[in-house]
A = this chain, B = another copy of it.
């Protein structure tokens, strides 16, 4: 059963979230104007599953159940699946112009799937089968799932079990016959409040002594003991204002939540790792590779909207054909496509895990993400260059609608004669939203820190390359080792 966007939104009303926003507990969070755009963004992942022209990207045959399932809940069964994932993400970025939040769950599903298989192989546990059962139900009900990896971490210089406060990483505080009890918090949780369930995962390599921190499990977002605290985003309260211009992207937005787990019970059938410290890094790295691949899709798609908006403001200002404008637009396209090319390449070069699903190529996924930590910033800078100073000096929509001064604004903020002032206004606020406002956390900071900060990618790139081979090649060419004989 593939839910429609509308059904997804209605289904959320069943969740009794313990959710706080701007200092208040929010009961009807589904219709809250600050939250709703982030729900709409996820809803788009449901909508595309019913669109004929997107269906092949947005859905796939399940490996576990009979029906087609949403790709976000699927296992990647081939390199082609990896490629379609990235292309789907680009399309969703284009359609929402923001983070659509559902990738973390998809990437978590696939990394837990293959990791539990290998844990069971080594430790004789039964996590993999459990996980498959859980996943079947997820697929059958077309639920939305978020992935919760990043702990709050406290003092970065100290291991989880050695922190002054033992709760700085999520950990098991009680093991009972029927399940476990966990405590801690997960930060920067994209889409957590819009999901039916969440997958808890460890955030780094656990070592001896950290056993209670090696925990992976699923729980409903409204389980007892769960508190969600909604993060502020730049210009968030513009969504509370009248009108639809100043907010820039009226329909869609991202969401970041601090999840507090205050002694939450999880039954064993939803526990997928508990104490296996030797598999924490595998889970973390597989997830990271998937998620670094993901950015080769979504950020290219969001970039497309920014490029389109920038070309439009150049049109509206009457300067589109100027050589330096064309050059800068060309550069923006180039950077967005470089990101996407890296996303595609790491997908096409994927590999099959022992469990049978496919992983993106680790080296190239990291290369992809490292470019993502740089290029969106340059895209924003170029967009600001072309947009002009009005980007940050336009009066409010209320001024524009004002009976006395509205006419001044309409008269004086007009660009080329054939474009209404309001269109120019709207395109400027969209660019503003992307580089300063509500979309900027999605497009800039998430590009920087999502799936790990740039330094993490640098380290992986250094580690994943075959430097021994490269040095051997150099020694042979230099004649330090014997030179290659091409004739005999």
Contact = CB atoms under 8 A, between A and B. Distances in A.
Interface in A401-429: 401-402, 404-405, 408-409, 411-417, 422-423, 426-427, 429
Q: Size class of A's contact patch?
A: 35 or more
Contacts of A164: 417
A94 interface: yes
A454 B385 contact: yes
B399 A234 contact: no
Contact of A234 (B349, B392, B404): B392
Interface centre among A341, A380, A432 (most CB of B within 10 A): A341
Interface in A234-253: 234-235, 237-238, 241, 244-246, 248-252
Interface in A108-162: 150, 152, 154-158
A479 B426 contact: yes
A484 interface: yes
A108 to B, nearest CB: 17
Interface string A327-364: 10111011001101110111011000000000000011
A477 interface: yes
Interface in A376-408: 377, 380-381, 384-385, 388-396, 398-399, 401-402, 404-405, 408
Interface string A461-488: 1100101011111110111100110111
B333 A474 contact: no
B448 A304 contact: no
Given A260-B412, A414-B165, A470 B423 contact: no
A270 to B, nearest CB: 23
A10 to B, nearest CB: 10
Given A185-B412, A373-B385, A393-B187, A156 B258 contact: no
Nearest to A186: B412
A368 interface: yes
A157 to B, nearest CB: 5
Contacts of A187: 389-390, 393, 412-413
A370 B324 CA distance: 15
Contact of A364 (B341, B384, B416): B341
Contact of A377 (B6, B238, B381, B430): B381
A458 B327 contact: yes
A252 B249 CA distance: 28
Interface in A92-118: 94-97
A207 to B, nearest CB: 18
B487 A399 contact: no
30 contacts: A9-B487, A22-B396, A22-B399, A23-B399, A155-B415, A156-B318, A185-B408, A185-B411, A187-B390, A229-B399, A230-B395, A231-B392, A231-B394, A232-B394, A237-B237, A237-B238, A256-B389, A308-B474, A309-B477, A323-B323, A327-B458, A330-B461, A331-B458, A337-B363, A341-B368, A385-B448, A385-B454, A427-B475, A427-B480, A430-B478
Given A237-B237, A427-B474, 6 more contacts: A20-B395, A154-B415, A167-B411, A185-B408, A244-B479, A250-B479
